[in-house]
Structure 1
Amino acid sequence: MTFEVAGHKVNVSSASREEFFDLFREMLGTRTGFAIATLNLDHLVKLHEDPVFRSAYNAHDIILADGNPIVWLSRLAGCPVAHMPGSDLIEPVCAIAAELGVPIAFIGSTQDVLDKATDRLTARFPALKVVARLAPPMGFDPDSPLARHVLQQAHDAGAQLCLLALGAPKQERFAIYGRTTLPDMGFISIGAGLDFLARTQIRAPRIIRMIAMEWLWRLAGSPRRLAWRYMKCAMILPRLSVLAAKSRSARR
Structure 2
Amino acid sequence: MEFSIDQYSLSVDVPDWDTLERLVAARFADKQGFALATLNLDHLVKLRSDMDFRAAYKAQDFVVADGNPIVWMSRLAAQPVTLMPGSDMILPLCRLAAQMDVAVGLVGTTDASLKASAEALMAKVPSLRVTTRIAPPFGFDPQGGQADEILRTLESDGVGLCFIALGAPKQELFAARGRVTAPSVGFASIGAGLDFLSGSQVRAPRWVRTIQMEWLWRMLENPGRLFLRYMRCFAILPGHLLKSLAMRWRG
TM-score range, shorter chain: over 0.9
Q: Percent identity?
A: 48
Secondary structure at 1:220 match in 2: helix
Larger deviation, residues 181-190 vs 62-71? 181-190
Shift in CA distance, 106/14, structure 1 to aligned 2, threshold 3 Å: closer
Q: Distance in 2 between matches of 1:5 and 1:151?
A: 31
Q: Distance in 2 between matches of 1:46 and 1:27?
A: 29
Asked if the contact 1:15/1:81 (under 8 Å) is kept, the reply is yes
Counterpart of 1:73?
73
Secondary structure at 1:240 match in 2: helix
Shift of 1:16: 2.2
Q: Distance in 2 between matches of 1:212 and 1:35?
A: 27
Shift of 1:217: 0.3
Indicate whether 1:2 and 2:2 are aligned. Answer: yes
Counterpart of 1:35?
35
Q: Distance in 2 between matches of 1:199 and 1:185?
A: 27
Shift of 1:143: 1.1
Shift in CA distance, 126/14, structure 1 to aligned 2, threshold 3 Å: closer
Secondary structure at 1:162 match in 2: strand
Q: Please, what TM-score do these two structures have when normalized by structure 2?
A: 0.98
Counterpart of 2:189?
189
Unaligned runs of 5+ in 2: none
Asked if the contact 2:53/2:173 (under 8 Å) is kept, the reply is yes
Shift of 1:15: 2.8
Shift of 1:14: 4.5
Q: How many residues align?
A: 251
Asked if the contact 1:14/1:80 (under 8 Å) is kept, the reply is no
Counterpart of 1:147?
147
Counterpart of 1:178?
178
What are the superposed Cα offsets for residues 188-225 of structure 1, whole Å, 9 maximum, x if unpaired? 10100000000110000001001110000000000000
Counterpart of 1:98?
98
Larger deviation, residues 2-11 vs 37-46? 2-11
Q: Distance in 2 between matches of 1:43 and 1:242?
A: 18
Counterpart of 1:230?
230
Q: Distance in 2 between matches of 1:2 and 1:49?
A: 18
Shift in CA distance, 37/14, structure 1 to aligned 2, threshold 3 Å: closer
Q: Distance in 2 between matches of 1:244 and 1:100?
A: 39
Asked if the contact 2:155/2:184 (under 8 Å) is kept, the reply is no
RMSD: 0.9
Shift of 1:237: 0.3
Asked if the contact 1:147/1:174 (under 8 Å) is kept, the reply is yes
